[in-house]
Amino acid sequence: MENTDFKSTFSLLNADYVQLNKNWNYRNVISPFYRIYLIDEGIGSLGDADRAHVLEQGYLYMVPSFTLCNHHCPKYLSQFYIHVLEESADGTSLFSSNRKIHKIESIPEDIIRFKKILHLNPGRDLRRTDNPREYEKQPSLAGFQKRNNLIPLSDYIETKGLILEMIARFLKSDSFKSSETKKIPSVILDSVNYILTNLQSNITVEHLSERACYNANYFSRIFTNYTGERPLAYIQKKRIERAQYLIITTQLSLSEIAVETGFESLSYFSRTFKDITGQTPTQYKKINNVV
- 145: nearest Cα among 282, 12, 2, 287: 12
CATH of domain 3-177: 2.60.120.10
pLDDT, mean of each 10-residue run, the chain (291 residues) = 72 92 84 90 85 90 86 93 83 76 93 96 79 60 74 94 95 68 74 87 93 93 89 92 82 92 94 90 73 33
CA-CA distances (angstroms) from residue 64 to 97, 127, 191, 286?
10, 23, 23, 22
Please report, for the chain, the start and end positions of each structural domain, with discontinuous segments joined by +. 3-177, 186-287
**Which pLDDT score is estimated for 48?**
74
**What's the alpha-carbon Rg for the chain, to the nearest Å?**
20
> Do the Cβ atoms of 247 and 280 come closer than 8 Å?
no
**Which pLDDT score is estimated for 88?**
75
**Which pLDDT score is estimated for 29?**
78
We find that the CATH architecture of domain 186-287 is Orthogonal Bundle (1.10)
**Which pLDDT score is estimated for 189?**
79
Helix (H, G, I), strand (E, B) or coil at 130: coil
Residues contacting residue 137 through CB under 8 Å, at least 6 positions apart: 288, 289, 290, 291
> Do the Cβ atoms of 145 and 184 come closer than 8 Å?
no
**Which pLDDT score is estimated for 291?**
33
Amino acid present at 232: L
Its pTM stands at 0.74
